[in-house]
Amino acid sequence: MSCSCTHEQAKLQENILKKINNHPCYSQNAHQHYARIHVAIAPACNIQCNYCNRKYDCSNESRPGVTSCRLTPQEAVKKVLYVGGSVKQLSVVGIAGPGDALANPKQTFETFALLQKYAPDIKLCLSTNGLNIEKYIDEILKYNIEHITVTLNSVDESGKMGAKIYPWVYYEGKRYKGEEAARVLLRQQLRGIELLVKNDILVKVNSVLIPDVNEEELLRVSKKVKEMGVFIFNIMPLISKPEHGTRFGLDGVKSADHRLFMKVQEACETGVKLMRHCRQCRADAVGLLGEDRSDEFFKKEFADKSFEELQAHYNINKRRETHEKIEKWRDVLRAANERALRAEAQKYELSSTGETKLIAVTSASNGLINDHFGSAKEFLVYEAGDKAIKFIMSRRVETSYCKGPAGCGTYVIDEIKKVLSDCDILLTQKIGECPRKELDSIKIICDEDYANEPIEISVLKAVRKHFSFEKLQAC
C-alpha cells in the first residue's frame, strides 16, 4: 500500500515537473532560458479593480500604465508563429488582457483552438480574475490549458476587505456593488480554484500587495491557497501613480516598495511555493522575462502572411533542436550550481550564524553573470549565507547607467543606488571606476571575478569570499 502511494506520488511529481520544466513563470530556473509571449486579444472585463484603468492593460498580470496593441485571434496566432520562428526559446503563450481572458471567451478559445492546430508544441496559459472559471471549465479542459493564473487579493468572507478593492462585479447579467460584489467574486474565485486543482491544472495565484489595504490579509491568502493545493503564489507589489488614472492612484495610495514587498514575502513563507521572479510584464510582452522585445515585432510583418507561410517560418523541428540544446546547457548549469540554491530555506538554513547578506547580480540570459553594469536595467537579488543561497526578487530601474552612444557622457546612478541600497555585494561582468566608487560610497562591494560564470554557485562563493560568518558569530 505505502509502496504504491510512493509510486503514485513520484508519478505525480514527474508529471508536474514535465509541465513546469520549460515554463518561465512556473519554474524560476526555466526563466533564464525560455521565453513567453502575451497576446492582447481580450478587451472586456467583468469587474472593476481600484488599481486598474481600462484605458490600459489588466493590471492583475501586467504592468499598469502600458497600452498594448490589440489583436484578433487570427492576428494573435500569426504573431505567435512569427515570433516563435525568430525567438526559438519561446515556450509559452499567455492571454493576460488587456481585459479578462474569461470575460472574452469567444476570442480566448478561438485563439487557443488555432494555436493547438498551428503551434502544437507551445504551452497555453491564461490569467483571470476568477469570476468565470466555473462557467468555462469544460473549454479550459478541452483546449488542454495546463496553467491558469487567478488573482485573489483577499479571502475575507464578509466582503469588507474586497469592497475596498472592487467597486463592482458583473456576474450572470447582474451588477453587484460593495461588499456583496466582493462576496460574489470571492465565492466564484474559490469555486474556480477548487475546480482547476481537482482537474490537475497548475494554478498560480497572484495577489496585488496594496499598502495599507491588504498587507496583513496576504498572510491569510497564502495559507488559504496552500490549503487548496495551489501550485505557486505570486505577490505583485502595487505600482500606483496618479497619472495612471486609477482609483488608488488618484486617492494617493502608494506603490509597494522593496522593503514592504520583502517583509510581506517573508511573512507569507507558510509552506506555499512563492514565485519570486515575476516581472509584471506588459499584456503584449515578448521574450525572456527580464527583457521586452515587443517593439521588435510589428503587425505589418505578419498580418498579411498566410498561416502556412508562417508555419514554415515557425519550423517546429528547428524549435525542438533549440530546446534540446537548452536542456543540455541546463544540465551543465545544474552540475555547476549543485546544492548552492535552497529555494524556500529559512535564514538558519542558509547561514551558520543566522545572518545573511544580499547579493545583486547582472545577467543577460542563460544563467550566467553576463551583463555589464552599464547596460543593466535589472538586478537579480539573492539572499546568501555561508551554507546556501536563495533567490529573493528582481529589481528594475527605469534607465540603465550607460545610455549608449546617443546618451554618451550622461550617467545617472541615483536610481540604481536607491534600488541596491540594502545590498552588500554586486556581481557583474564589468563595471567602470566611477560607478564602482559611487557604489563603494554606500558600502556595496563590486566584484567582476565571476564574469561569465554560473550565477548561483558564484553568489555562494562571493559571499564566502567577502564575509566571514564565524566572525559574525563571535561578535
Specify the stretch interacting with ligand SF4 by CB under 6 A; choose among 41-49, 65-73, 189-197, 461-469.
41-49
Q: How far is the CB of 81 from ligand SF4 (least distance, A)?
A: 20
> What amino acid occupies position 89?
Q
Q: Identify any residues that bridge with 454 across adjacent strands, giving them in sequence order.
A: 368
Q: How far is the CB of 211 from ligand SF4 (least distance, A)?
A: 17
- Residue 33 near ligand SF4 by CB under 6 A: no
Phi, psi dihedrals of residue 131, rounded to the nearest 5°: -60, -35
* 147-151 β-sheet, strand order: 274-275, 232-237, 202-209, 147-151, 123-128, 90-95, 35-38, 286-287
Q: Output 58 or 205, the one with its CB closest to ligand SF4.
A: 58
Q: Give the separation between CA 421 and CA 404, rounded to whole angstroms.
A: 25
Q: How far is the CB of 159 from ligand SF4 (least distance, A)?
A: 17
Question: Which one, of 445, 291, 280, 290, lies nearest residue 358 by Cα?
Answer: 445
| Complete DSSP assignment for 82-125 | HHHHHSTTEEEEEE--BS-GGGSHHHHHHHHHHHHHH-TTSEEE
Strand intervals (E) in 228-351: 232-237, 274-275, 286-287
In terms of Cβ atoms closer than 10 Å to its own Cβ (0-12, 13-18, 19+), residue 123 is buried
Q: Output 59 or 222, the one with its CB closest to ligand SF4.
A: 59
Q: How far is the CB of 405 from ligand SF4 (least distance, A)?
A: 30
Question: Which one, of 345, 353, 360, 368, lies nearest residue 467 by Cα?
Answer: 353
Q: Which residue has the cell 489595504?
A: 213
- Residue 42 near ligand SF4 by CB under 6 A: no
Q: How far is the CB of 285 from ligand SF4 (least distance, A)?
A: 6
Specify the stretch interacting with ligand SF4 by CB under 6 A; choose among 48-56, 106-114, 140-148, 257-265.
48-56
Q: Are 77 and 7 in contact (CB under 8 A)?
A: no
Q: How far is the CB of 289 from ligand SF4 (least distance, A)?
A: 5
Buried b (16+ CB within 10 A) or exposed e, 127-163: bbbbbbbbebbeebeebebbbbbbbbbbbbeebebbb
- Residue 61 near ligand SF4 by CB under 6 A: yes
Specify the stretch interacting with ligand SF4 by CB under 6 A; choose among 51-59, 294-302, 436-444, 449-457.
51-59
Strand intervals (E) in 109-255: 123-128, 147-151, 168-171, 174-177, 202-209, 232-237
Mask for 268-307, x = binds ligand SF4 (CB under 6 A): ----------xxxx-------x------------------
Phi, psi dihedrals of residue 128, rounded to the nearest 5°: -150, 160
Rule CB under 6 A: choose which of 49, 150, 213, 221 binds ligand SF4. Answer: 49
Q: What is the DSSP letter of 42?
A: B
- Count of residues near ligand SF4 by CB under 6 A: 20
Q: Output 129 or 458, the one with its CB closest to ligand SF4.
A: 129
Q: Output 54 or 223, the one with its CB closest to ligand SF4.
A: 54
Q: Output 47 or 274, the one with its CB closest to ligand SF4.
A: 47
- Residue 27 near ligand SF4 by CB under 6 A: no
Q: Output 45 or 90, the one with its CB closest to ligand SF4.
A: 45
Q: How far is the CB of 35 from ligand SF4 (least distance, A)?
A: 10
Q: Give the separation between CA 305 and CA 74, rounded to whole angstroms.
A: 11
Rule CB under 6 A: choose which of 29, 34, 91, 100 binds ligand SF4. Answer: 100
Cis peptide before 405 (omega within 30 of 0): no
Q: Output 20 or 47, the one with its CB closest to ligand SF4.
A: 47
- Residue 429 near ligand SF4 by CB under 6 A: no
Q: Output 63 or 88, the one with its CB closest to ligand SF4.
A: 63
- Residue 189 near ligand SF4 by CB under 6 A: no
- Residue 99 near ligand SF4 by CB under 6 A: yes
- Residue 90 near ligand SF4 by CB under 6 A: no
Question: Which one, of 379, 358, 376, lies nearest residue 444 by Cα?
Answer: 358
Buried b (16+ CB within 10 A) or exposed e, 368-383: bbbbbbbebbbbbbbb
Question: Which one, of 198, 210, 193, lies nearest residue 150 by Cα?
Answer: 193
Residues comprising the chain, all counted:
475
Q: Output 79 or 279, the one with its CB closest to ligand SF4.
A: 279
- Tell me how far CA of residue 74 lies from CA of 101, 102, 213, 242, 439, in angstroms: 16, 18, 41, 36, 50
Q: Output 60 or 132, the one with its CB closest to ligand SF4.
A: 60
Mask for 114-133, x = binds ligand SF4 (CB under 6 A): ---------------x----
Specify the stretch interacting with ligand SF4 by CB under 6 A; choose among 54-62, 217-225, 367-375, 398-406.
54-62
Q: Which residue has the cell 491588504?
A: 214
Specify the stretch interacting with ligand SF4 by CB under 6 A; choose among 59-67, 136-144, 343-351, 404-412.
59-67
- Residue 28 near ligand SF4 by CB under 6 A: no
Q: Site residues (CB under 6 A) for ligand SF4?
A: 25, 36, 45, 47-49, 52, 58-61, 94, 99-100, 129, 278-281, 289
